[in-house]
Amino acid sequence: MLGLMQDWPLTVDRIIDHARSWHGGIEVVSRSVEGPMVRTTYREIHGRAKQLSNALLSLGVLPGDRIATLAWNTGRHLEAWYGIMGIGAVCHTLNPRLHADQLCYIINHARDKVIFTDLTFLPILIEHRAKLDCVEHLVVMTDEAHMPADFPALCFETLLAQHSADCAWGGFDENTAAGLCYTSGTTGDPKGVLYSHRSNFLHTLGTMGADVLGISARDVVLPVVPMFLANAWGVAFSAPAAGAKLVMPGQHLDGASVHELIETEGVTFSAAVPTVWRMLLQHLRETGGQLSTLTRVVIGGSAVPEDMVRAFRDDYGVTVTHAWGMTETSPMGTQSSPNRAVAAMDAEEQLRYRLKQGRPPLMIDLKLVDDQEQVLPHDGQASGRLKVSGPFVVREYFREAERDILAADGFFDTGDVATIDDQGYIQITDRAKDVIKSGGEWISSIEIENLAAAHPKAAMTAVVAIPHPKWDERPLLLVQLKPDERADRSEFLQFLDGKIARWWMPDDVVFVDHIPLGATGKIDKKLIREQFKNHVVQPIAAGLSPEEPNAEEAPADAPGPFPPEAAGASPARASTLTMVALSGALMGAYLWRSFGPARR
């Protein structure tokens, strides 16, 4: 027997329909690529998105066609999203921080028919246009006054003006493809994750829960996380669904620009990767600025450092929740919101849980397995591969049907190594490809990084494995110092002493000008490992040694605590990483635009 309820397909056009009908006057504020602040409303975005749908239909776009966007977080980008998805086409968000060769590969692999681009990224499309044989139209997301001369492209505003807002949306199966996002390609070619309307709608409902993003109609939301990174963590759906005011930062994500938007627009909630928050905190310290309205931030993308959580909490009264997810999970997987037991703890006890990746919401199932696929207990000690299942978790990669990525029980292997404690909080201890296996035992590179990052002289840290003739692998710590700081190895080894097992202690500390970041803002350990695969540990000069009286006794067959030759002082900086830190001039240019000083 079937239930007797209405058949109401879960398609994302219903989200912006709801926003127009019930929150139509709520503002969407954008810092435009051209410079000025632009103010619109959900009602106006809804109408312009329908005009865009008609424009796409006039260009011959059919259901299932992939329509790409290469754009920052703005109201225009939001209009493109809903205009594309509303007619059953697929919105393919392109990550401009990828290398040009990867962008071309992704566009051609997806067979994108139309590309919507901000002015910022037009030069790269002009340079590589001949390689994009599938692309029929380029649409520049600007007005006629800012259109480039002598280049065959369509103007976004002119295109909209030529069409009415009378367009039928939806009417297709909720399992119809809605969005396409490619992984960053850190291991082989990027892989496409094809979201459905149903998966996006269910993900929206999941993130709106109080223990997840918890966005409400009372919030002013600043999604610093880009719309080209896994649906901006769902905020581009959940904020309109809730009726929250949206503040779109455009291309200026430096500390001063983010702070200005928070204060002038009364932002209460924001989401971003740690890099952005570190720049904001640095700006606040340098200027004496305050956060008068911000109450909550979600941090994801990589492990959140303890000093960052403390700074937000103690200096500015802002609550940090840590989130974990991936492109393959749409992306929300877990969030570190306190449950009843954790909420009853004092602030310092709670901090231990806030630094973990958190608990899964409804519609996400997790488990840990060992190398024999045996399920491991939730005791906070057993460490294994993290697997995930749910209605917004990937089933197969786009155009790779022959590749089976699910286990027999339907779970997807995330590639993360983790523990789960008795409160249900997961803690990612490493990526499977980044974990350091020394003498048959695992060492967490993430844990060492986070501890070393708390050193007052450290701007950023990274830990990778280097080969060892006896122990197979040993940890190498890279440190990027804050401006005008100097340090030697012994300072950091002494700082770590007592905080980690002595056999976890890095064999060497190398000071670098820059730690390279990948296209999603995470540390590019693949690049670092290649750069330091032949690293030779420098002879000891001074510092810790295994013979210190308070040294922890290590098992007789365990590596370390660390070789005596690893503990010496060395102020030299390994500037060779600078040449490759941003994977070429294009990557550097895009990261500068994204994370560099604001240009107004």
Catalytic residue set? 183, 328, 437, 442
Count other Cβ atoms within 10 Å, centred on residue 34.
Answer: 13
- Separation of CA 398 from chain center: 21
Calculate the CA dihedral of residues 26, 32, 38, 39 and round it to 10 degrees: 0
Per DSSP, helices labelled H in 174-329 are 197-207, 235-242, 255-265, 274-287, 306-310, 316
Q: How far is CA 80 from CA 76, 90, 118, 230, 457, in A?
A: 6, 11, 12, 16, 44
Nearby residues of 448 by Cβ (< 8 Å), 6 or more positions away: 463, 475, 477, 496, 500, 504, 506
Q: In 24-155, which residue ranges form alpha helices assigned H by DSSP?
A: 42-58, 75-86, 100-110, 122-128
Query: 495-509 burial, b for 16+ CB within 10 Å, e for fewer?
Result: bbbeebebbbbbbbb
Burial of residue 549 (number of CB atoms within 10 Å: 0-12, 13-18, 19+): exposed
Give the residue carrying structure tokens 């295109």.
159
With CA atoms as reference, report the closest residue to 594 among 226, 139, 183, 301. Answer: 226
For residues 593, 310, 352, 233, the Cα torsion angle rounded to the nearest 10 degrees is -30
Q: What is the distance between the alpha carbons of residues 250 and 262, in angstroms, rounded to a whole number? A: 14
Q: What is the DSSP letter of 311?
A: I
The answer to whether the CB of 81 falls within 8 A of the CB of 236 is yes
CB 370 within 8 A of CB 376: yes
**Amino acid occupying residue 340:** R
The DSSP secondary-structure symbol of 470 reads T
Identify whether the C-beta of residue 550 lies closer than 8 Å to the C-beta of residue 561. Answer: no
Cβ partners under 8 Å of residue 565, min gap 6: 537, 538, 539, 540
Kind plus residue range of the DSSP H or E element containing 531: helix 525-531
By three-state DSSP, how is residue 222 classified?
Answer: strand
Please give the DSSP secondary-structure letter assigned to residue 273: -
- Report yes or no: 475 and 443 within 8 Å, Cβ to Cβ: yes
Can you list the positions of beta strands (E) in 487-583? Answer: 508-511
Alpha-carbon torsion (370, 376, 381, 384), positive or negative: positive
Residues 6+ apart with CB under 8 A from 95: 103, 182, 184, 226, 228, 229, 519, 520
